Amino acid sequence: MRRVQGDSGGGRSARIVGWSALVLALGAGLLGTPFVLRAIAPDGVDWSELSDVSQTYSAVSVLISAAALAGVVASLVYQARQTQTAQEEASRSTHRELVVLSLTDPVLQSCWEPPKEPVTPDEWRRLAFTNMIVTWWENSFRLGHLTEEQLRLMLMEHFRGAPARAHWAQAREGWLQHADAGGSRRARRFPRLADQCYLAAVEAGAAVHPEDYFRTERA
């Protein structure tokens, strides 16, 4: 599964915070300019004129402060999204490790929820590994790394295979229910798009079985 690029995201956030701090400092300097002028101005200065100048500075500083505030808000929103993405990736990484451990230890396979229909141990391993592939695509689609058209093309090819169809026949109900329970718009869209591609592949013809994937001898 694609790793979250935390370093580049942190650098981008640091730049946003840096620019926001610079703008705030400039705004504070503009606000303080009239007071500095008052302190250093010689006697006899026309303070009415300076007052007009001060009001001009104040109007400009309000705009700059507003821009700085918008930058700070954007930085906080970006950091929150990066944190959420990192947490989700950590959760998915833990799930992958548990599945991989189950693939190598048959005793642990029955610790997961039972399949909708009884399967052989080899079929269970295929289902579990296929689910990891589909989860990888779902994560990539949800994060915007795959367009809907790219995902559709991948799923149509995916569902040409019998293992892929067997997996979705077992898992589709759970995917659809999980999507309805919450998540982002793209997360809700993924299982429905997958189901459309699955039904289209079934209608298109028979699946390719695992024993037909490879040749045993050179042609």
Tokens of 20: 């926001």
Is the separation of the CB atoms in 167 and 134 below 8 Å?
yes
pTM for this prediction: 0.62
**What are the average pLDDT values for consecutive 10-residue runs of the chain, which has 219 residues?**
40 60 64 60 57 61 72 78 75 82 88 88 92 93 93 96 95 89 86 96 94 79
> What would the pLDDT profile of 153-175 be if each residue is shown by its tens digit?
999 999 999 999 999 999 999 99
